[in-house]
Amino acid sequence: MPDDTNSMDEMTRDVADEVRGEGVESAVSPEQVMPAPEPGVEELKAQVEELRDKYLRALAEMDNMKKRQQRQHADIVKYGKEAVLRDFLLVYDSLEKSIMSAQELYPDDEPFITGLQMIERLLLETLKKHGVEPIQTSNMPFDPNIHDAMMQVTRPDLEPGMVADEIEKGFLLNDRVLRPAKVTVAA
């Protein structure tokens, strides 16, 4: 920047010397001889401001994209195992049916039934470690977000709209429905 100032001073002196050489010595001062600012300076300032605005917008967009990717990554970590856990629910269903069948067919074989119940508890505890919780249905009003109504039944002991029976247990994965509970609803 100092070089530009020096060259401007030299140019001013040269113009002043030329004017003096023509016989008008003190009529014009060096400040009056300075060339007027070019109209391009204002245009350049406007361009700089426009580019600065674009830069700030691009920076904000990059920040938003980074936050969006972090949320997506967190969701993948949180819900990425959803398909595998859903498959384990089929194993749970089979185990639950085995326990009910054993209680009906072999009510005297208590060690066998107890062993199946222990396996069921272990499976539920393992699912819980991975964020899977059973959906509560008993004494609950029907909620279409977590319950899947299979049919309506007449139950004088329940108010209309309450869950009457659970046909298939439902589960949540980190507060998101992994599988809705299949239920009957009191009419």
Which run of H or of E encompasses 171? Answer: strand 171-173
Q: What is the mean pLDDT of the chain?
A: 86
Note the pLDDT of residue 6.
56
pLDDT (mean) for 7-25: 57
In angstroms, rounded to a whole number, what is the distance separating the alpha carbons of residues 25 and 140?
Answer: 104
Sheet hosting strand 176-179, strand order edge to edge: 132-134, 171-173, 176-179
With cut-offs at 50, 70 and 90, classify the pLDDT of residue 79.
confident
State which amino acid sits at residue 152. Q
The tokens describing 54, both together, are: 């674009």
More confident residue, 57 or 74: 57
Instruction: List the domains of the chain with CATH numbers.
Output: 82-186 (2.30.22.10)
Q: pLDDT digit string (tens) for 99-132?
A: 999 999 999 999 999 999 999 999 999 999 999 9
CB contact at 8 A, 158 and 164: yes
**Dihedrals phi, psi of 141, to nearest 5 degrees:** -70, 150
Q: pLDDT digit string (tens) for 152-166?
A: 999 999 999 999 999
With cut-offs at 50, 70 and 90, classify the pLDDT of residue 18.
low
Residue 5 has pLDDT above 90, yes or no: no
With cut-offs at 50, 70 and 90, classify the pLDDT of residue 139.
confident
